């Protein structure tokens, strides 16, 4: 986790502490779904890539993610996708894990809503809005 801190246009910092916290939250969701959590580090050793996955024998896979110059949600999406890539779960397990991981991240965000998070079913019941 040696990437320096970079400030995005929206003012949100992307750095080692935010990366570690995101990994911790996503790992908790992965464990709830009996998914293996790979080792995460930063930056990747390969230049000009956002993410690499290394597998060496029976060791845990190592995922390297670039932090500098990237928005927090992009880094968090890479963490979630990496857990799915390493585990290759069923479609249902993948969807459930993805949903719970994002909800956990959202609930700890400064942007978290006060009330419950809307589900797809809730949104689909709203219908389409007319624009004048």
pLDDT at 124: 44
pLDDT at 101: 97
Q: What are the backbone dihedrals phi and psi of residue 20, each rounded to the nearest 5 degrees, phi first? A: -65, -40
pLDDT at 8: 47
Tens of pLDDT along the chain (132 residues)? 444 444 445 545 568 889 999 999 999 999 999 999 999 999 999 989 999 999 988 889 999 999 998 999 999 999 999 999 999 999 999 999 999 999 999 988 765 555 455 554 544 444 444 444
- The residue count for the chain: 132
Domain ranges of the chain: 6-126
Q: Which CATH number fits the domain 6-126, given the four candidates 3.40.1130, 1.10.3470, 3.30.2010, 3.40.50?
A: 3.30.2010
pLDDT at 5: 46
Cis peptide before 58 (omega within 30 of 0): no
pLDDT at 93: 97
Residues with Cβ within 8 Å of 84's Cβ and at least 6 positions away in sequence, in order, are: 94, 97, 98
Beta bridge partners of 65: 51
Residues with Cβ within 8 Å of 26's Cβ and at least 6 positions away in sequence, in order, are: 76, 79, 80, 83, 101, 104, 105
> E strands, the chain, where?
6-7, 13-14, 39-41, 51-54, 62-65
Instruction: Decide the pairing of beta strands 39-41 and 62-65.
Output: parallel
The answer, as to whether pTM is greater than 0.85, is no
> Could you tell me if 44 and 64 are in contact, meaning their C-beta atoms sit under 8 angstroms apart?
yes
Type and span of the H or E element at 18: helix 16-32
């Amino acid at each position: 986790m040696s990437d320096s801190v970079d400030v995005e246009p929206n003012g949100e910092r992307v750095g080692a502490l935010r990366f570690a916290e995101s990994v911790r939250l996503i790992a908790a969701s992965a464990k709830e779904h009996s998914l293996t959590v790979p080792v995460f580090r930063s930056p990747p050793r390969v230049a000009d890539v956002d993410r690499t996955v290394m597998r060496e024998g029976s060791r845990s896979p190592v995922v390297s993610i670039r932090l500098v110059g990237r928005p927090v949600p992009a880094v968090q999406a890479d963490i979630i996708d990496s857990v799915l890539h390493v585990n290759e779960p069923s479609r249902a397990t993948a969807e459930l894990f993805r949903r719970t991981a994002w909800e956990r991240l959202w609930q700890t965000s400064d942007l978290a809503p006060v009330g419950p998070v809307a589900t797809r079913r809730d949104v689909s019941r709203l219908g389409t809005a007319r624009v004048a």
